[in-house]
Amino acid sequence: MIDAHVHVWDTARRELPWLPAGHPLRRDFALTDLVEDGSLAELVLVQADSDPAEIHDLLDLAARTPAVVGVVGWFDLLGSTLDLPNDPRLVGIRSPPADQTDPEALTSPAHISGVRAATDAGLAIDLLLRPPALLGAARLADAVPQARLVLDHLGNPNSVDTDWLTGMKALAAAPNVTVKLSGTAHLPSDDFKELVGITLDLFGSERLMFGSDWPVCTLTGSRSDVVRRTAALLPPATHNDVFRGTAQRIYRPRETAP
């Protein structure tokens, strides 16, 4: 299995403004905390802080940890240039917009230019958005058809509503968009089942990948709980794609990208 969405952080080194003082997640989380059943499986580490220094910490950790098959780091896609480390473990960029509900932010000239530069460097682009912004992501997919866009956390829905369903249908029409079944531990079982069913129907298993969103998932359960819960909702024939194949194809090392 490849768990395509795992975070680690050291609160002495990371500001993590999205975690206020006293929040139960505002403590250190290391890969040694993730060991379950004697195995880490394989992991993609994903940015947690909008700090360009974080990528070096994640790449250093990846270099020491064979289980880490890729890193999705933060870079300013709105900047004039991308100063990327020359490390094949860097497989993607996540640079969330300031307003994750604004569809226009995805297709600003500066953002499109940044996505094109990351794409030319062989990197996938993770998108952390809310349902109202999904139509903007679909327009971005059309504007940069060579980009490998990965929608994190199913677009962060709480249930099947009009914004989410309209946006997901538009994204499904863009062949360069993949959806990550992550960030779902908090969803009630009935809502989660409906959301996964619709997403599978729209995108097919070859465009879905699994991510536990550890340690955020620990607010409601363990990483193993998330794996079992997700697997139970998917036909067995889809498991190879969702739990390994799609992540292998999308998060490939830069030197093998076209």
- The pLDDT tens digits of the residues spanning 120-179 come to 999 999 999 999 999 999 999 999 999 999 999 999 999 999 999 999 999 999 999 999
Q: What whole-number percentage of the chain has pLDDT above 90?
A: 89
Hey, what are 11's tokens?
A: 């609160």
CA angle 16, 19, 25 (to 5 degrees): 105
Task: Band the pLDDT of 36: cuts 50, 70, 90.
Answer: low
| Residues in CB range of 198: below 8 A, 6 or more apart | 160, 165, 168
The owner of tokens 């993590």 is 16
Cβ proximity of 245 and 225 under 8 Å: no
For residue range 14-25, list pLDDT tens digits in order: 999 999 999 999
The answer to whether the Cα torsion of 104, 105, 109, 113 is positive or negative is negative
- In the sheet that holds 68-73, the strands lie side by side as 2-6, 42-46, 68-73, 90-94, 124-127, 149-151, 177-181, 208-210
For residue range 54-75, list pLDDT tens digits in order: 999 999 999 999 899 999 999 9
Helix (H, G, I), strand (E, B) or coil at 179: strand
